[in-house]
Amino acid sequence: MNLSPRAPSIGLRAAASLFALAACIVAAPTAFAQPAPAIPAKPGDAAGTVQVGKTTVTLKHAYATGPADRGGPVYEVMLTDGPVPPEILAKGLGIGGAKALLNSGKLSGITLLVGADGFLRNIIPFAGDLRGEKMLASAGKLDSFAVTPSGLTGQGRKAPADTMGQGWSFAAAWNAAVAKP
């Protein structure tokens, strides 16, 4: 009778390895996801970050327009690291207005196109080397989203694994007054 412990069989070792690999794959998308910060109490404020490669931008200001009818009510949200001057903001959040500051690099941040149900129609980062060149479309629901008489509040996040190999992520919350488009 042999009382020495047996080495695990090849099949048992292979099964254990596959289990470990599966656990890593399941955990990978959330392993690097930052939690979204709390929603700021004051309209016009944002909290959180957008990260592009090694560049991290702290989001402080929130702006929104809407609703626009694009197959249902849609809101544009812009979160930035600095304030948008009132004369630029009067031109709107689009290319002729505040988005020009993001494209030029004078401000950094992220824009989100959000349906009234909190579904992200698209997300575009403006930080580091990315100035609107990359985006996600049909990006899922935000963690929270509400349209109130005083504006929009929301929380959302995407880990690098969620941005289709584009090398960016965000975790943010906002409270924004809504301007009509």
DSSP assignment letter at 149:
T
Q: What pLDDT is recorded for position 24?
A: 42
Q: Give the separation between CA 60 and CA 121, rounded to whole angstroms.
A: 23
* Residue whose C-alpha is closest to residue 102's, from 138, 139, 133, 137: 133
Residue 51: give the domain boundaries: 34-179
More confident residue, 70 or 142: 142
What is the C-alpha to C-alpha distance for residues 68 and 115, in angstroms, rounded to an integer?
Answer: 10
The neighbouring-strand residues paired with 171 are 49, 157
Whole-Å CA distances, 46 to 142, 163, 171? 15, 21, 11
Whether residue 53 is predicted with pLDDT greater than 60 in this model: the reply is: yes
pLDDT at 173: 98
- Candidates 76, 82, 114, 124; CA nearest to 101 is 82
> 112 in a domain, yes or no?
yes
d(CA 93, CA 166): 24
d(CA 39, CA 154): 7
Phi, psi of 84 (to 5 degrees): -90, 125
DSSP code of residue 162: G
Tally the domains of the chain: 1
Question: Six-digit token pair at 95?
Answer: 């290319």
Residue 157: inside a domain, yes or no?
yes
Chain mean pLDDT for the chain: 86
Structural domain contains residue 122 = yes
Length of the chain: 181
Task: Confirm whether 12 is domain-assigned.
Answer: no
φ, ψ (nearest 5 deg) of residue 161: -65, -20
Q: Is residue 3 part of a domain?
A: no
Q: What is the model's pLDDT at position 92?
A: 93
What confidence category does residue 112 fall into, taking pLDDT thresholds of 50, 70 and 90? Answer: very high
**Alpha-carbon span 165 to 149, nearest angstrom:** 38
Q: Does the pLDDT at position 28 exceed 60?
A: no
Q: Is the pTM higher than 0.75?
A: yes
Residue 88 lies in a domain: yes
| C-alpha separations of 148 from 65, 145, 153 in Å | 13, 10, 8
Tell me if 104 is assigned to some domain: yes
Whether residue 80 is predicted with pLDDT greater than 60 in this model: the reply is yes
